[in-house]
Structure formats: structure tokens, C-alpha cells
Amino acid sequence: MPTSLIPAPRGVVAGAGETRLTEASGLYAGAGTEGVGRWLGGVLRAATGLPWREAREPAQAGDGVRLSLAADLGPEAYRLVSGPAGVLVEGGDAAGVLHGAQTLRQLLGADAFRRAPVRRGRVWTVPHMTVEDAPRFRWRGLMLDVARHFMPKEGVLRYLDLMSAHKLNVLHLHLTDDQGWRVEIKRYPRLTEAGSWRARTKIGHRASPLWDDRPHGGFYTQDDLREIVAYAAERHICVVPEIDVPGHSQAAIAAYPELGNSDVVDTAALTVWDTWGINPNVLAPTEDTLRFYEGVLEELLDLFPADAGPFSPFVHIGGDECVKDQWRKSRTAREQIAKLGLADEDALQSWFIGHFDRWLADRGRRLIGWDEILQGGLAPGAAVSSWRGYAGGITAARAGHDVVMCPEQQVYLDHRQDAGPDEPVPIGYVRTLEDVYRFEPVPAELTPEERQRVLGTQANVWTEVVEDQGRVDYQTFPRLAALAEVAWSELPAPADRDFAGFERRMTEHYRRLDALGVAYRPPGGPRPWQRRPGVLGRPVDGPPPAL
């Protein structure tokens, strides 16, 4: 049924009848759509068992599927027409054709998301209709924290498929933190030899008495990351890597102690952090540290080329939660402040971030960071991930910077989904499926010109207490489906949104998620094996503040 489409399209005109797909149905991919044709042919052959012969001319597709570009459509927009002549999917570009192909997949039913046919003799049909669609936001993202708990490469590839199925187009990959370094840097091998694993892991919130005494770790080789980027590009998804500086850096300091404030603490005694929270061990603000991270970024830029999509020039440098206590005690830091003529340690962090802002710009790249990087000012091309609320994004937009809205009070998916006692390791505010569906990324106080600075939105999945793929699925779904609709569809004001209608469409969408093997949170609450009884969390009572 067209009413079950997620995210909701801009317009649907229903027709009479249906197109039946048979052994004779072909697949034609016009100029510029060949990659989409290969992808669609692969998933349809697997799910339906039909041959889906490749047609060399549109007419040879018969009553099958034809893919083509259309000059009257904008970027990522598509038009799907199903009628007596078969199914035509047109897009303003190849990305639009892919989005239309994902809509076709939904129209075929949940079994079209399986990897092999499950019913012999199944008749595959598409209802006659016309779907006209285009995205509201350019940046429709998901951040995966693979630093706290490592997600193997196959898991990342799987999430790229899930993102594509929901018309999301940016994967923000959080590759480094205090608890692990996840990217191979060949000139600095100890980053992965020592920095990619920890001896044990805190179970639950940092106040929990429980520990997992198994070593935890892993990293992506450079070829792994090239594969991830290429796999994403085939699905018209940009991968934005994050290397966190100058805070959240204990894993790097454990590998190379000279990166830390060795005149204040014994950095040689530091190991990869095994617990959670805001870490006091930050990078030393020295020229040597800058040169080290320039070396890291030089290799990173080769792995994440700037021509892989509209947002591929971006590199995320973190910049959040940098505790200044060690800098205040460090003679080296004080001398650097005096040498540079800076006011204080906050200005020192601005100097640190500003260096990489210019360094990336000189190489045709764009810096993006958490909203703390606004302190001290940014170069014109830098962008901001507004996570502490809306305020950072408002400030950035008014200063002429592009913004990705991802306030923790609204779209941090590690936050609990219900106030009930069965919710596993309850963290933060209650953010239900409806709460996410009513999230509005654009603050009302922005002017029309300032609103153009909001590139879009993303959901963030932090993994301190999310230890494996099943837990990532549980925290992410079904709420990511709601975020996808917020990011894609032209919805009314939050209070006026038809959440009951969205829930009805989710009834069919749960069947799609089942077919894809997603361990989502059921509407009625966690299944017994999804609970974590006895593991301490950090729930926050009451509604989240409007910041």
C-alpha cells in the first residue's frame, strides 16, 4: 500500500490496477543510472528469484522496470510511475533514481527486503500509481560511535544498507576516542597496535561496579575504510570521518605518550581508558602535536576522497569536552599561551582548532566539529554539529556557518526509549518514537536566510553502554525511521504531525525491518533477551530542556 511508505513522499496519485512482474520482466538502466541498475538488479534477483534480464533498450524491459535521468527533477528528487507499460523510475540524478528504487522495493512488500525468496510461486505486483518526491534536507545522517565499542566492518556495511533503505545520505563515523583508536595510520603504527584495544570495559554507567574483564578492541585497515567509502558511494552515501582533538584522546596518548601533557602527569603510565565519562587527559597544545595530527590527517584524506559525494570534503575534528585542568597546570601550555599572545586556555583550544581549520581548507576540505569549536571564531567554510541543544546551531547560522542539527535532548539514540524498568541500561532522557517524530531541526527564531544554513540533521548513536550489533539495533530502531522522515519529508509543525498515521505505516515497516534482520525495540517494549537487569544506567527524569 502506498500509505505505508517511509519516509512519506511529497505526493502520491493512485491509479487503477497493478503491474505484475514475471519471468519476462526486464530491467533497463539508462545513461547515468547503471550503478543503481546493478544494485537494484542484485536485490530484486535475490528476493524474488526472477531473472530480471538486463535490457539494452527501454522497450526491451517490457512490463518490467526502467531507470532514467530526468532534466526537470532536482538533486535527489525522483518520480516513480507504475502503469500498464511497467514501472518507470526517473531521478534528477543517480541518487534520486536510487531513492526511487528504494520506494519501488517498499511497494513490492516486505519480502522484497529478503536475501532469498521465501514463498514459491509468489506473484510480485506493484500498484499503479505516480509518486513525486524530493528531500527536505540535504544532510540526512547517522553518527555511529565505533570508538567506544568497535563495530566490525561487516556491521558498518550493513548499516549503510539500512541507511539507504531509509533515504539517509551521510554516515558520520566516530573513529577515535579515549576508549579506542579505530583507523590504521601507517606512519604511526602504535595507534592501532596499542591504542585500538583496552584490557577491560566498564559494564553500564561509570558508577556501575560491574566490569567485563575481556579485552575489547579492533580497528579498520586502510583498505577496510576504502571499501566502506566505496560501498557507501554506490548507495550515494557520504562517509564523514571523525578524529577527535584535543580532548577525547587518551587512546592516542596511551600509544604515543609525548602527545599528552607529560609535564603534569605520567603519560607513559596511561593505558586506553576502560570506563566512561569526560576524561582529563587531553593533547598537549604544542607544534609537535600539530605535526603528528597533520600526519594522521594526510593519510585520512587519502582514505576519504573529496569527490565521493556532496559532503565528502568534510572532516570532523571533534573539539568537544576538552577539560583544561592539565593545561592550566602545564608550563608548556602556559608558555604557548604567552608565545601566541592568547588570553587563556579557552583561546588555546581555539588556536588548536583554528590550525586544522586552515590546514584542511588549504587542501580543499571543510572542517566540521561539535559546537564547542565556535569559541574563538571559525573560518568561513567551517561547519558545526549542534549537539548541546539548539543554541550552538543558532549561533553558528547567525555567524554564517553551515549547521547540522543533532541536539542530544532530541536525537541521541543512546538515550532510553521508555521510563519503564525493563529498558536496558537506561541513559538520559526518555525519547520515544513519537518524540523523535516531532523533532524539528530548524529553530523558529532563525530568519529565512539563516535557515538556509541548516544543512540538515542526524541521529547520534553513542556506544558507551551499547556493546554489540543487537544493542545498536535496539537503540537505533525504530527511532531512525522517524528521524529519516523528519529529514526527508515536508512535515507540518511538530504539534500538527500525524503520528497516528506514522504508527500505522510503521506496522508494515516493522515487517521490512524483520526481513532485514534488525533487532529493533518492539512497540510493546523490549523482548526478554533485550533487557539488561541489574546493570546501572544514568536516567534523567522529566522532559528535556529547550536549550
3-state SS, residue 54: strand
Per-position b or e across 342-378, b if 16+ CB within 10 A of its CB: beebebbbbbbbbbbbebbbeeebbbbbbbbbbebeb
Q: Are 411 and 458 in contact (CB under 8 A)?
A: yes
Reported residue count of the chain is 547
Q: Beta strands 139-145 and 26-29: pairing type?
A: unpaired
The rounded distance, in Å, linking the Cα atoms of 264 and 285 is 13
Q: How many CB atoms lie within 10 A of CB 326?
A: 22
Which one of 177, 372, 435, 464 is the catalytic residue?
177
Locus of grid cell 539508462: 30
The rounded distance, in Å, linking the Cα atoms of 396 and 371 is 8
Which one of 149, 248, 415, 509 is the catalytic residue?
248
The residue among 462, 501, 502, 455 whose CA lies nearest residue 478 is 502
Query: Quick one: DSSP state of residue 461?
Result: E
CA distances from 109 to 127, 424, 463 (A): 11, 32, 32
Q: Beta strands 176-177 and 180-181: pairing type?
A: antiparallel
For 111, phi then psi, to 5°, come to -65, -15
Query: Quick one: DSSP state of residue 132?
Result: E
Look up residue 192 and give its three cell numbers: 592501532
Q: Are 523 and 416 in contact (CB under 8 A)?
A: no
- 177 is a catalytic site residue: yes
Which one of 63, 321, 346, 503 is the catalytic residue?
321
Residues 6+ apart with CB under 8 A from 269: none
N-terminal to C-terminal alpha carbon distance within the chain: 40
Beta-bridged to residue 288, according to DSSP, are none
Look up residue 6 and give its three cell numbers: 517511509
Q: How many CB atoms lie within 10 A of CB 22?
A: 12
The rounded distance, in Å, linking the Cα atoms of 359 and 428 is 36
Look up residue 418 and give its three cell numbers: 521508555
The rounded distance, in Å, linking the Cα atoms of 141 and 167 is 9
The rounded distance, in Å, linking the Cα atoms of 475 and 462 is 10
Per-position b or e across 441-451, b if 16+ CB within 10 A of its CB: bbbeebeeebe
Longest dimension (CA), the chain: 78
- 248 is a catalytic site residue: yes
The rounded distance, in Å, linking the Cα atoms of 92 and 122 is 33
3-state SS, residue 412: strand
Q: Are 16 and 494 in contact (CB under 8 A)?
A: no
- 161 is a catalytic site residue: no
3-state SS, residue 79: strand
Q: Are 459 and 410 in contact (CB under 8 A)?
A: no
Determine the residue type at 527.
R
> Which amino acids are annotated catalytic?
177, 248, 321
